[in-house]
Amino acid sequence: MPYIGIASHAPGRRRLTLFVGFMATPMTFREMEERDIGRCIEVRTLVREQRYSVETLRQLGITVESVTTMLATTHKGWVCEIDRRIVGFSMGNRSSGEFWVVAVLPEFEGRGIGRRLTELAVQWLRAGACPDIWLWTSPDVSTRAYAMYRKFGWQDCGVQNGRRIMRLQHVF
Ligand SMILES: CC(C)(COP(=O)(O)OP(=O)(O)OC[C@H]1O[C@@H](n2cnc3c(N)ncnc32)[C@H](O)[C@@H]1OP(=O)(O)O)[C@@H](O)C(=O)NCCC(=O)NCCS
């Protein structure tokens, strides 16, 4: 949110500076609701890395209908909103202990949104006493997601069937 300000350089001096600054935009984290699912699928198609098209997601069985069923049964999700627009989300699956997804729009990366969304899902999986909290991701270790998971204590368990498996060892 840009704003214009005026700065006075010293008491009694007339020199003023006009500047344009940016106030920190408030972000809101809340539980995902059924009405959010379409937008979350859209966010998943717009990420910078590990991007999936709607068609590929459909082939993987991920549609508004299937995610609606998941949210009502095994899964729970969280969204981050800025200016009332969802810019990131995460989901976990308590029936399997899988940290299912985290995704943040490219222009909102690097602000701590991915960290918070990951924490929310992991806390929920832990509260459900999941014996094994795990995820699969790209085999490519140069992704931002891989660096984030390693930083947060996820152990790299290697690649199986083209997917890198990671398990959470420590509370972060
Ligand atoms: C992965 C992703 C969710 C991260 O979201 P983000 O909002 O940028 O994450 P954050 O700003 O909270 O940063 C996450 C942490 O990773 C760290 N990190 C990121 N890249 C890093 C790197 N190359 N080396 C070391 N640490 C790194 C950050 O420093 C930060 O740690 P901190 O909170 O202790 O400072 C986002 O990049 C994304 O959506 N990627 C595409 C989708 C994707 O790959 N999802 C995962 C599918 S398995």
Judge contact between 103 and 49, C-beta under 8 A.
no
Pocket test for ligand 1, best of 50, 115, 165 (most atoms within 8 A of CB): 115
* Three-class DSSP category at 159: strand
In a domain, 72, yes or no: yes
Distance, in Å, from the CA atom of 141 to the CA atom of 147, rounded to the nearest integer, reads 7
In a domain, 45, yes or no: yes
pLDDT at 11: 52
Distance, in Å, from the CA atom of 23 to the CA atom of 20, rounded to the nearest integer, reads 10
In a domain, 2, yes or no: no
pLDDT average, residue stretch 81-87: 97
Domain count across the chain: 1
CA of 94 to the centre of ligand 1 (A): 23
Q: What is the CATH number of the domain that holds 98?
A: 3.40.630.30
pLDDT at 129: 84
Which residue has the CA at smallest separation from atom 42 of ligand 1?
Answer: 103
CA of 146 to the centre of ligand 1 (A): 8
Condensed to tens digits (0 to 9), the pLDDT of residues 125-135 reads 999 988 899 99
In a domain, 137, yes or no: yes
Condensed to tens digits (0 to 9), the pLDDT of residues 98-121 reads 999 999 999 999 999 999 999 999
